[in-house]
Structure 1
Amino acid sequence: MRRGVTHLALVFALPLGGLLFAASGAIASESAHDWTGLYVGAFAAGGIGTTEADFGNMHPTGVFGGADVGFQYQLDQVVIGIEANASLSDLDDDQGVRGTASFQTQDMDNIASVRAKLGMTVGERSMIFATAGWGWGQSEYGEGLVEQKKSISGPALGIGGHYALNSHFVGRLEYVHYFYGDTTYNLTVPVTVTNSADEIRVGLDYQF
């Protein structure tokens, strides 16, 4: 768990520092930002999963990157939109003594989602938002020497904020929780575990 927290701290601090440095030279003295339009972007992220299983809980962690695409429409101070994202996530954890029946492994990969956004402008260049939709991923769970990979999915909920560096480049900071629910793996005997994941992203979008 301590390793996961360290990863998240690095993911948050390093890209955000870069965004703030870029902002110092990129922000122009313009009127209020118009949030309407199509955008594409990339992000760095850190994730911590939770797997509730027979022999105890695991918390796979990882640092990864991804991309997003979306569309927003502004109505006065309200901004509505839709966004899809995909990542090369790789969250790993294991526990127990390797080679014994009690040894467990968990690997969560390829986290993605499609979500609606509802936001509100704050000042001339900032926006805060809530987001909800559906998330997907892959989970490879194992006990002893037997593993199985399965697709997982469930509701995705989050909050975040955007800051317009200029009329095209927009920074983002976002948190998303994925409720993957129960998954049954056909190992030596069928095993049902409960999966979820938390993700923090720092990114940069280009708005057309």
Structure 2
Amino acid sequence: MKALLLATTALFALSAGAQAADLGAPRTPIAASVVVPAFSWTGFYVGAHAGYGWGNSRFFNGIAFPTSTNGPLIGGQLGFNYQFNQIVLGVEADLAYAAITGRASNLAAISHRTNMLGSVRARAGFAANRALIYVTGGLGFQGAATAQTPVGPESYSRVGYALGAGIEYAMTPNWTVKAEYMYYNFGTRTLGPLYAGTVRSDIHTVKLGVNYLFSTGPSAVVARY
């Protein structure tokens, strides 16, 4: 009986000592949660695009000669974004080779062709993580020519305005794809010396593009304690 009492007392003593040792040991911090941060749009980017344009041109020399124009375009763009919270502000410049052409529907044999289309624009958008919805506007540039058989083409360049909207999505931390609509208006220009008259045109475009972002934003996973 005395041996059983001594054994029980020793067991309780060992148990109390172990609990005291546990109370004195430092505890390793455990991550409360693992947070995946929102994608960052801040940084420079460069890319390429292709699309289709359509619009109207009108040659006027006392008689109006309206022309519907359409055709493909391909080019590139570069720009910079800055994001704070979910708002993204930026600037973009683009330039495209175009073949947007058309011939007057009357018997005058007058044709119009847009060879170059470009712009320098501001962008403002709302970011939902990897998706960016934006509006854009600024200066538009056109390289074009008007021709009448058998005189030949008269080439000219024009400056107008460009307005549009689009959506861009980040497929990876560096690569994004986008779809964009743009409207260009170049007003009225006086021709010469080949032709006596004026020409007026506007163009709508839809574009699909890809961009490479030089800033990849924050790391993919961050532990918060």
TM-score, normalised to structure 2's length?
Answer: 0.73
Query: Residues 191 and 85 (structure 1 numbering): CA distance in 2 closer, same or farther, change over 3 Å?
Result: same
Corresponding residue of 2:96: 87
Q: Does 1:58 align with 2:64?
A: no
2:198 aligned with 1:204: no
SS at 1:129 equivalent = strand
Deviant stretches of 4+, over 4 Å: none
1:141 corresponds in structure 2 to 146
User: Which one of 153, 164, 174 corresponds to residue 168 of structure 1?
Assistant: 174
Which residue of structure 1 lines up, in the alignment, with residue 18 of structure 2?
none
- The one-letter code matched in structure 1 to 2:135 is A
Partner Cα distance (2:197, 2:91) in 1: 36
- Cα distance in structure 2, aligned partners of 1:72 and 1:203: 16
Q: Could you say what the CA RMSD is over the residues aligned between the two structures, in angstroms?
A: 1.7
Larger radius of gyration: 2
Q: Percent identity?
A: 29
1:36-185 → structure 2 map (5 Å cutoff): 36-54=42-60, 55-96=64-105, 102-121=108-127, 123-146=128-151, 147-185=153-191
Instruction: Write the distance in 2 (CA, Å) between the matches of 1:142 and 1:110.
Output: 16
* Partner amino acid, structure 1, of 2:91: I
Deviations 1:56-113 (A, max 9, x none): 321221112110000000010110000000111121111357xx6x111101111011
Equivalent in the alignment of 1:15 = none
Q: CA deviation at 1:185?
A: 1.4
Distance 1:189 1:164, change over 3 A: closer
Q: How far apart in 2 are the matches of 1:184 and 1:139? A: 13
Whichever residue aligns with residue 72 of structure 2, its letter is V
How many equivalent residue pairs? 175
Equivalent in the alignment of 1:16: none
Cα distance in structure 1, aligned partners of 2:125 and 2:212: 18
The residue type paired with residue 126 of structure 1 is: A
> Do 1:183 and 1:195's aligned partners in 2 also have CA atoms closer than 8 Å?
no
Give structure 1 stretches of 5+ with no counterpart.
1-29
Residue 194 of structure 1: CA displacement?
A: 1.1
Offset of residue 199 of structure 1: 1.0
TM-score by length of 1: 0.79
For the residues of structure 2 that align with 1:110 and 1:165, how far apart are their CA atoms? 30
Distance 1:160 1:80 in 2: 14
Q: Tell me which amino acid in the other structure corresponds to 1:80.
A: L
Shift of 1:189: 4.9
- Partners of 2:58 and 2:84 in 1: CA distance: 43
